[in-house]
Amino acid sequence: MNTISIPELRTRMQAGLEKNELILDVREPEEFLAGHIPGARNFPLSQLERT
């Protein structure tokens, strides 16, 4: 899994994300529902730490 900075993500989104790119949002569900990047998948870090 690769991580990128917010400015790099912005650049990629403006250019059009590649079809195989996945945006994983690790915030808690309440935070995700309050606002997130369209198409992002939510997998809370608190759950990730347990696996």
pLDDT tens for 41-51 read 999 988 876 65
**Could you list the residue range(s) of the whole structural domain that residue 39 is in?**
21-51
Structural domain tally of the chain? 1
Judge whether 11 lies within some domain.
no
Judge whether 41 lies within some domain.
yes
- Quickly list DSSP for the chain: -----HHHHHHHHHH---TT---EE-S-HHHHHH---TT-EE--HHHHTT-
Judge whether 2 lies within some domain.
no
Residues 1-51 pLDDT 10s:
678 888 988 888 888 877 778 888 989 999 999 999 888 999 998 887 665
pTM above 0.75, yes or no: no
Judge whether 10 lies within some domain.
no
